[in-house]
A = this chain, B = another copy of it.
Amino acid sequence: MTASCIIRHFEHYAELGEKDRELLASLEKTPKDYSKGTLIWQEGMDADHFYTVRSGWACSLRNMEDGSRQVVDLYVPGDVVGLRDFAFRRRASNLLTVTDASLCPFPKRRLTDVFASSRLLCNLFFLIAARDQAILVERLTNLGRRSAREKVAHFLLEMAHRLDKACVDVHDCNHLPLTQVLLADALGLSTVHVNRTLNELKQESLTALGPDGISLLDRDGLKEVAGFDPEYLDEDVESLLRSIGARAPGQQA
């Protein structure tokens, strides 16, 4: 019955009251479907909505003056996209679908209503924003201080880990629908070098390359390569809920 994607996502974190559900449901618009490679928004456009990813993948990216691109983040089902434009009138990056995808828009300005009427939702939104930051910080260190090999391994592991947690209707969390171009733009590398690196990892049976993406074959091996520690992806929801007197999902009253 809960077709709303934002409700479904938030129920992942906490038991929502009837009031909270109504509030979210009333603000969420009907989902929109986009085919692979669609530009959902563009730098400079009015930042009037944020979105929840219902299915498929998307990514946000910046176009540089010299024609190169920087992929800032990828989004998988369940992710909330666009919160960081809360502080700005216009979008600072592009949003592009990586696969066919379905997203649910939510008017940005109404966020303040949510904050005002639900303590729980307000805190959850803040939690999400904090987690987004943690991800950016990790990607930052990835770009700044790791070798290409480590970068690739680390990034793949992160996405797989995020898929694990999103796993609602995902068949295979070890398969990522990423092109090598996308990986390169996310990691600040050239496509050629991503290809070299990926082949290297393939030789070692750590990954496999399909026509429609990349598969992780040996997560432990990759972890070793990358020095990956997923702590930055595992928010401490429990103690937040406790401190505001809310219930975890599925927990009895």
Question: Which A residues contact B (CB, under 8 angstroms)?
Answer: 62, 64-65, 68-70, 72, 83-90, 92-93, 109, 111-112, 115-116, 119, 122-123, 125-134, 136-137, 139-141, 143-146, 185-188, 227, 231-232, 235-236, 239-240, 243-244
* Interchain CB contact under 8 A, A133 and B134: no
Distance A144 CA – B69 CA, assembled complex (angstroms): 9
* Interchain CB contact under 8 A, B109 and A115: no
Distance A86 CA – B130 CA, assembled complex (angstroms): 6
19 interchain pairs (CB within 8 A)?
A68-B145, A70-B140, A84-B137, A86-B126, A86-B127, A87-B128, A87-B236, A93-B137, A111-B126, A112-B123, A112-B244, A115-B122, A116-B119, A116-B122, A125-B126, A129-B129, A133-B133, A143-B188, A144-B188
Residue of B119, B126, B133 touching A126 (CB-CB under 8 A): B126
* Interchain CB contact under 8 A, B70 and A145: yes
Q: Known contacts being A88-B235, A119-B115, A244-B112, is A133 close to B129, with CB within 8 Å?
A: yes
Most buried by B among A111, A126, A146, A236: A126
* Interchain CB contact under 8 A, B144 and A87: no
The DSSP consensus for interface residues of chain A is helix
Q: Known contacts being A65-B227, A123-B112, A134-B92, is A140 close to B139, with CB within 8 Å?
A: yes
Q: A133 — which chain B residues lie within 8 A by C-beta? A: 83-84, 129, 132-133, 136
Distance A133 CA – B133 CA, assembled complex (angstroms): 6
| Nearest CB in chain B: distance from A193 CB, A | 13
Q: Known contacts being A112-B244, A122-B115, is A144 close to B235, with CB within 8 Å?
A: no
Distance A131 CA – B65 CA, assembled complex (angstroms): 23
* Interchain CB contact under 8 A, B130 and A130: no
Q: A243 — which chain B residues lie within 8 A by C-beta? A: 109, 112
* Interchain CB contact under 8 A, B64 and A145: yes
